[in-house]
Every structure is written in structure tokens, then in C-alpha cells.
Amino acid sequence: MMKFLKKFYLAIIFIFLYSPIFVMILFSFNEGKTRAKFTGFSFKWYSSLFEHDILLVSLLNTLLVATIASILATIIGTFAALTISKMRNFNRSLSLNVINIPIVNPEIVTGISLMLLFVSFALPLGFFTLLMAHVTFCVPYVVLSVLPKIKQLNKSTYEAALDLGASPPLAFRKVVLPELMPGILSGFLLSFTLSLDDFIISYFTTGPGFPTLSITINTMTKRSIPLTVNALSTIIFIIVFILLLLINIKNKPNIKLGKM
Amino acid sequence: MNRRSLPLWFWMTFFIILPLALIIFFAFFEKTTEGVVFSTKFITTAIRNPDYMRTMWYSIWIALLSTVACLVLGYPLAMILSTVKIKLRNFMLILFILPMWMNFLIRTYALMAILEDNGTINSMLKFIGLPTIRILGTDWAIIIGMVYNFLPFMVFPIYTIMLKIDKGIIEAAQDLGANSLTVFSKVILPLSIPGIISGVMMVFMPAVTTFIIPQLLNNKSWTIGTLIEMQFKGDAYNPNLGSAISLILMVLIVIGMSILNKFDHEHEAGGIL
């Protein structure tokens, strides 16, 4: 009985999560123009997607910003974590608290505060301001993923490398960095996802010349949304699904090992 | 101060402290023809205006309802997920995360198509001969939208903490004669409170400040987010007033967080996340 209830509950939740996506995918194949009525099967929205350049341009913009911002945030965040790990007492807790602000603050406050910053310095809102904003809200997440790894570091291995004649940079590269790599990678992935998904901060920090996907879709919702959005979303859904499956398959042996 | 930590201090000052200082500055200083002058009129407008106050309470109320809905739906889900066999569990976690990896706007847009007056739900109701219902454009639509977008933020912290609960403790309680209800109320629930607290924070915070979910699902109702957004991007351009409202919002959130944190420390079992 209990088992049945559990399965039933899971089924309800997954229906709730997936029915909008399913409907969206269904209507991407609609022959008609609206998402109210399915009139026939066709691929026309997929072909018009590749002519309808604003969506594709926005998608490319989003990917471009997410890639550069997450790389920069990973570099800055890793150095920030290394710097913080060397601090003591007051300085350490102060900088940790400051670094945490963008995580704790509501996104809209981060968004407008950065907008005020850029406007005060008379920077035109566009690619660079958007990039800086994304780096700013991603860095704290990198710091939070790298810091625990620094704590776990065994100091003796670094000293051993120095004793064996390695220069400090070489010892850092060959001994410390590999140990930190899992934290750095998860910080990078987290930044990339956050940047891809962001709407609110981008909304305040980019200009009309550089729309991201979220912003273009938001503009479109003010009029009637073309079904090309459904087609694009379906493609994104399938890519993400395949990526997640691949990651899961690759990780499976590790999970098993961890369980033993 | 170490010379090596200078770039970090510089970065934090320029990108984190200075922007916040600008909000405070704009909330209290106004550019007039006689130069920049101090003024409390924006703060008083934000506090005294009954419409703004109503909007604030409305946002808090809707966010609370959404958070409770997420907790009620998410807690059993986290519990079930933590008991499923590992192979199946990984697949379920993927299914559960997958919608989150799609764009936030796409998710809400997909939901819109379901809830519309001539959307999927109403088509189905019509098909089986029931009267149609109006969802899009009501508060229900906002709450459904919040739950749809923020449910994972509630489930993951609780799920993580459920995994950490020592099965031995549960077995000990059962050995000592507790039935499953007592085991839940005396063992599982108290141990999962840190997860609940971080889940509540992670859902409530975005729920109280979002402006895009209400805008898409019920554009007649305004939230604090809408109010702030309008002062910066809308027709009512007034960054001073917008900053004042943001400042009040920040103060409220700091107060709320410190209350929750105090509550969390009493349980001293785990930190946020």
C-alpha cells in the first residue's frame, strides 16, 4: 500500500513537472500558428527557426556570455579562494561575508545595484556590462566550491615538492592545482548554468543591442509568441537531456565505488 | 593587509560594496538644479504610500503561500527520493533536475500554455464535459508558477539532509517500539529541520522578489519586484524611489535571515545548503 502511494505521488509530481514541457514539444510540431489548437504535424517552425535569426542570435549571445563569464569567474574565484584561505580572523570573516553578499541578496537588488554602477560610470549597457555582471554573481559560487577543497589540502605534499626541488609555481601547478580541480570544475559548471539561466540580472545590465535568450523571449511574451520558441526550446531540452544522461553514465562506476 | 590580497579587496570593493553603496546613495540623495542634496522623501514615500505597502504585504503573502506549497509538496518528495534504490534514484534526480536546466523564461512560458483560458487544462476539462476554469490571471497561477520554478530549491536541501540521517537511529527507534508515525515525528522530522530551513530560505527569497513570474502569469497583480523594476525600466522612471524600495527590501531580508539563522543555530545540526 505504502509503496503504491509513493509511486503514485512520484507520478503526480513528474506529471506536474513534465506536462508543460510535453505540451511545448507537441506544439513545436504544430502546423497552425497558435499554441491553442493543434491542427496538423509539420516541421515548419524548425526550418523557420533558422531563418528567424533573432532567437538564434540571442542563443549564441547567451552561450558566448555564459562561456566567457564562467571562465573568468572560475579564474577570479579560484584566486579569491586562495587569497581568503591565507587570511586570518577579522580579514577572513570580513571578506567571506562580502563575497557572500551576491548570493544572499535578491537577484533584483544585485541587478539594479550593478546597473547603477555602470550608469554612474557612463558605461553603455551591452555585452561588456552584461559580462561583468555575470562574472560578479558567479564568482561567489566558485569561491564557495573551491574553499572546502583548499581546507582539505595536505600541506606536506606541497612542502615535499619544494624539498624535492620544485619551484613554488611548479609545485603549485603539479601538486596543489590537481587537488583543487574537482572544486574548480564544479564552480565552473555552476557558474555556467547560473549564467545560462539568468534573466533578472541580465535584464538590468544589458542593452537593446545585446539581447540574451531570456530577454528575447521576455520581449516576445508581450506580443504573441511565435512557435519558433517552442522549436528552439525542444532542441535545448533534447540537448540537455542527452548531456545529463551522458554525465550520469560516465559517473556511474564512481557512484558504485563510493557506495562500497 | 597583505599586498597579495589587494586585488581581491579591490575587486570586492568595486563590484560588490560600491554598487550597494550606490543604492543607499540614490535612496537618500537627489540630483536637483542646486546640485546633489540629501533628502529622505524617497524613503518616506516608499513607506507611507499605502499602495506600495499593500504591494509589499501582497508579495510577502504570495511568497509565503508558495513556500508553504513547496514545503508540503517537496518534503514527501525528498523523503521518497532518499529511500529509492540508488540506480533508480539517479535517473529520477536527472528527471527532476532536467526542467531546471532549461531556461527560466522557457519554463514559465511552457507553463503559461498549460494554464491559459484555452490552454491544455481547459481543453481537457471541455473534452470530458466539465466547465472550464480560469487560472491564468489569478493568484493561483502565480503560486503554481512559483512552485513549478522553485520546487527543486526546497527538495534538494531536504533530500541531502535525509540522506545523511543515520539509518541506525531510525532502527533504534523502531526497536524501542516506536510506530512509523512516532519515528517520523520524533526522529526524522527534527533531524531534517536544518534542511527545511535552508529550503524555506532558498524558495522564499526568490519568490518574494521575482517580477517575471507575476508579470507572465497574472499581470494585474504587482509585487515588490514589479515596483522596483518599474522605477528603473518602466514608464515610472525614478531610480531614487527604486533604490529606496530596494533598500527597505534589503533591510527586511537581513532581519528575516537573522531570525531564521537564530532558529537554525538552536538546532546546530548543519549549515545552509
> Rounded to whole angstroms, how far apart are CA atoms A168 and A165?
9
Q: Which residue of chain B is at minimal alpha-carbon distance from A114?
A: B19
* Amino acid, res. B108: T
Does the pLDDT value for residue A119 go beyond 50?
yes
Least CB–CB distance from A23: residue in B7, B104, B110: B110
- The confidence score (pLDDT) of residue A255 equals 44
Give me the tens of pLDDT residue by residue for chain B, a chain 273 residues long. 567 788 889 999 999 999 999 999 999 988 877 778 888 888 888 888 888 888 888 999 999 999 999 999 999 999 998 888 887 888 888 888 888 878 888 888 888 888 888 777 888 888 888 888 888 888 899 999 999 999 999 999 999 898 888 888 888 888 888 888 888 888 888 888 889 988 998 899 889 888 888 888 887 778 888 888 888 887 778 888 999 999 988 888 888 888 877 776 665 444 443
CB nearest to A136's CB, from B9, B15, B243:
B15
Sign of the dihedral through C-alpha B180, B184, B185, B188: positive
> Is position A246 within any domain?
no
Q: What is the pLDDT of residue B203?
A: 92
Residue A27 within a domain: no
Percent of chain A with pLDDT strictly greater than 70:
95
Q: Which domains does chain B have, with CATH numbers?
A: 60-267 (1.10.3720.10)
Question: Within an 8 Å CB–CB cutoff, is residue B125 touching chain A?
Answer: no
| pLDDT value of position B14 | 92
- Out of A20, A27, A95, the one facing B8 most closely (by C-beta) is A95
What sign results for the dihedral spanned by CA atoms A66, A68, A73, A78?
A: positive
Classify burial at B94, counting beta carbons within 10 Å of its beta carbon; exposed 0-12, middle 13-18, buried 19 or more. middle
> Chain A residues with CB inside 8 Å of B92's CB?
10
Helix (H, G, I), strand (E, B) or coil at B268: coil
What DSSP element (H or E) covers B32? strand B29-32
Quick: pLDDT tens for A129-150.
999 999 999 999 999 999 988 9
Q: Does residue A254 lie within any of the structural domains? A: no
Rounded to the nearest integer, the mean pLDDT of chain A is 87
What does the pLDDT read at residue A243? 84
Half-sphere exposure for B169 (CA within 13 Å, toward CB): 14
Does residue A62 lie in a domain region? yes
By Cβ distance, the residue of B96, B205, B212 closest to A199 is B212
B208 touches chain A (CB under 8 A): yes
H/E stretch holding B35 reads strand B35-38
What number of CA atoms fall less than 13 Å from residue B199's CA on the CB side?
A: 28
In terms of pLDDT, which residue wins out, B39 or A61? A61
Chain B contact for A248 (CB, 8 A cutoff): yes
The structural domain count of chain A equals: 1
CA dist., res. B188 & res. B79, Å (int): 10
pLDDT at residue A74, rounded to an integer: 96
Contact A194, A100 (CB under 8 A): no
pLDDT score at B158: 93
pTM: 0.85
Of B76, B103, B205, the CB nearest to A197: B103
B/e letters for B226-258, b = 16+ CB within 10 Å, e = fewer, are bbbbbbbeeeeebbbbbbbbbbbbbeebeeeee
Residue-range definition of the domain harbouring residue A119? 41-236
| Gyration radius of chain A's alpha carbons | 23
Residue A191 located in a structural domain: yes
The answer to whether B90 contacts chain A (CB < 8 Å) is yes
In a domain, A116, yes or no: yes
Judged by a CB distance cut-off of 8 A, whether residue A241 touches chain B is yes
Question: B114 in contact with A at a CB cutoff of 8 Å?
Answer: yes
Average pLDDT over residues A153-180: 88
Q: A186 in contact with B at a CB cutoff of 8 Å?
A: no
CATH code, domain carrying A211 = 1.10.3720.10
Burial (CB < 10 A; 0-12, 13-18, 19+), residue B262, is exposed
Residue where the block lists cell 557572500: A100
- Cβ separation B91–A98 shorter than 8 A: no
Mutation for testing the B interface, residue in A98, A113, A229, A240 having most B CBs under 10 Å: A113
ipTM of this model? 0.83
